[in-house]
Amino acid sequence: MNRSLLSLALLIAAPLVHAQSGTTQFVSDDIAVVLREAPRNDAGSLGNLRSGQKVTVLESLGPDSFARVRTADGREGWMTARYLSAQPAAKDRVTQMKADLDAAQSQIKSLQDQLKAAQVQLDQARPAFELAQDNTRLKAELAAREQAGAALQQQFDQERARRATMLTGAGLLSGGVVLGLLLPWLLRSRRRRRYGDF
């Protein structure tokens, strides 16, 4: 009868095992380690330590043996040393990485918002910037024209001085010619009067 029951149980369990053999699963890293009173597997239990829990190693009998540890709540006991790691548990590292990623994404969003705000300010300031550029260009053109006007004024002043000199020279020359023509006539008429008086 026991054989019949065993055969029946195998027949019932076989499809279940076969049905689940093709599914993909992962080994959980969420483990619990027994904290023991002595460095033996049959020693009394002081409780369980969960993966990621911090402990202080007080003594170690080697990586393949036991280590005496103190928990954060002050309990002391022995645990299997191969479950100790210098790094936090993978789930805690993933949690920290997710927090870092969330902070980085938040910072990226903040920077994108700041960039958009700066773009809006730039778009608003662009007309004033273009006016400032036009103003600078117009000032340069005005300075160039003022310089050209000053050069023309200097040429005009020089030409006027030259003409004034020419007019003065022409006036002196004309006066000299007139004087040269009148002087002999005056001298003659004076002589005539002088001689005519005698």
- What's the full length of the chain, in residues? 198
Cα 20 from Cα 14, distance rounded (Å)? 10
First to last CA, the chain: 198
pLDDT at residue 89, rounded to an integer: 66
The structure tokens listed for 152 are 């023309």
Q: What is the C-alpha to C-alpha distance for residues 125 and 62, in angstroms, rounded to an integer? A: 71
Q: Check: CB of residue 35 under 8 Å from CB of residue 46.
A: yes
* pLDDT given at position 8: 44
Q: Angle at Cα 194 formed by Cα 189 and Cα 197, nearest 5°?
A: 120
**Which three-class secondary structure state does DSSP give residue 28?**
coil
Distance from C-alpha of 80 to C-alpha of 35, rounded to nearest angstrom: 8
Token pair of 142 as six digits: 């005005």
Check residue 66 and give its pLDDT: 93
* Claim: this prediction has a pTM higher than 0.75: no
Q: Please give the chain's pLDDT, 198 residues, in tens.
A: 445 544 544 445 444 444 445 666 554 566 788 999 999 999 999 988 888 888 899 998 988 899 999 998 999 999 988 888 887 766 666 777 888 888 889 999 999 999 888 888 888 877 877 777 888 888 888 888 889 888 888 888 888 888 888 888 877 887 777 777 777 777 777 666 666 554
* pLDDT for res 46: 92
User: Given this structure, which CATH class describes domain 31-86?
Assistant: mainly beta
Every domain of the chain and the residues it spans: 31-86, 101-155
C-alpha triplet 25, 28, 33: angle, nearest 5°: 150
Query: What pLDDT was estimated at residue 19?
Result: 41
What pLDDT score was predicted for residue 185?
A: 73
Task: Answer left, alpha or beta for residue 95, where phi above 0 means left and psi between -120 and 50 means alpha.
Answer: alpha
